[in-house]
Structure 1
């Protein structure tokens, strides 16, 4: 990897608080473009717009998804902007390249009854076997659904953050940004039950893994979520931590929450990210009008 690429990744980590996975992905993207540039007799830091367009075209011809293409272009735009700001070059050749059109995808979410079924399924068996597993499931599901947390935010929660009669949680989100989220009485009770059970473990984390000094892994939680879905009679393929976050947001809006307030609760830097949930509600409203409004359909059953 070139010195310029390493400096760029260091900047992302130091100034923007980029996650380790983001840095790895951007590093791979830069390496891939550098290989393409070498084939054209160029280097990573002296590419022009023509070479960048040729590279993006090669990604499309290779069958990479529009989302992957868009991420690589975003990386290259940020990298060349960094080079310009550092005085390595005078322009940003990626600035005017068009981002690939992404397919419109609406977030998947559960119904309120399905969420209730999941929570009801988090009950230890009568013989008390694997009781802790179900205490973890209940506390995690209550907190994910009640506060709209990302799974990375949930698993990183410190145990000390849940003080006596805590009404709010301080959460560190993407880019190191902190926000306060409300903690429902049910979520607090479930978390306190887990803490009481985990007393002897002396872990700094609310959700410790097998080793008390480390948090529960995402893979470990996915296995728990899979078992809860089966117990609740739901298809595990429909369930993920992000689906619970989408469910929180969708249900909040459906019950009258303000979009700006929801943006703060979800930790979105840009309200445009939050607005995707309005599309979900708009589609539901359209279906409701077509189904129930007396003037929505003509005598032949067709929508007017």
Structure 2
């Protein structure tokens, strides 16, 4: 469990809790039939194959945990086949959409964030954790100290990204994080002033609805999900 990213762990707990609430027997009496019935229940509710697969994965992790506590002898999820998902073609932005996005990014005081995502492919969590000590503008590179693979990596920076970071440093170089917390954004421009990491859902709260209004390819993305749309910037990179 300790190897999961905080957001992934939180999601697994949430999905496993829903299953435990639905379950009509003691956890120690759980069988593969219970798990399969629950997944069928989700399918009947109209949940997508990807959502059902996420639930199965969360329940599997939950059952592994129950096994370490001696509540289950074996993991019943292992006897429930996983759904095969069709390979999805990543969404990426056209040059015209990128231009529109940059206009919105300036209005919403997110120019550096969006520039970095488009030109480096950093994940949402990696950007949140980025500190000024990780930025080396002299050698035009940054270091991701904690990545999804658990290994640090060095990312080259182009001239456009360096310029955006220079402007960002003029404003927030006295703080630890490159993108600090606070109440910044469209309605409180320039007030990212708290010396702590930015919240997980800052992207959702600030601009996702605004961006969806002018970029058609992002309109089908649910605004209530943290990070949705941000991966499309990575794919564009």
TM bucket, shorter chain: 0.7 to 0.9
Q: In the alignment, what sits opposite 2:56?
A: 73
Match of 2:90 among 86, 91, 107: 107
* Cα shift at 1:191: 0.3
Deviations 1:157-197, CA, capped at 9 Å, x for gaps: 11222134143222122364432222222211210112113
Distance 2:101 2:211 in 1: 6
**1:245 partnered with 2:226:** no
What are the superposed Cα offsets for residues 26-68 of structure 1, whole Å, 9 maximum, x if unpaired? 223333322333x2xx322331222222222222223333222
Superposed CA deviations along residues 278-303 of structure 1, whole A, max 9, x for unmatched, are xxxxxxxxxxxxxxxxxxxxxxxxxx
Task: Return the TM-score normalized by structure 1.
Answer: 0.59
* Matching of residue 98 in structure 1 with residue 68 in structure 2: no
Match of 1:150 in 2: 123
Which string of whole-angstrom CA distances, capped at 9 and with x for unpartnered residues, describes residues 116-139 of structure 1? Answer: 5544x3797xxxxx8xx65x41x2
Question: Which structure has the greater CA radius of gyration?
Answer: 1
Q: Which residue of 2 aligns with 1:56?
A: 39
Partner of 2:14 in structure 1? 28
Question: 1:178 is matched with which residue: 124, 143, 152?
Answer: 152
User: Using a 3 Å threshold, how does the CA distance of structure 1 residues 68 and 117 change in structure 2: closer, same or farther?
Assistant: closer
Secondary structure (helix, strand or coil) at the match of 1:94 reads helix
Pairwise CA RMSD: 3.2
Distance 2:181 2:50 in 1: 33
Q: 2:171 aligns with which of 197, 216, 241?
A: 197
Query: Does the CA-based 8 Å contact 1:17-1:176 persist in structure 2?
Result: no
Number of equivalences: 217
Give ranges in structure 2 of 5+ residues lacking alignment: 183-192, 222-228
Task: Name the SS of the counterpart of 1:206 in structure 2.
Answer: coil
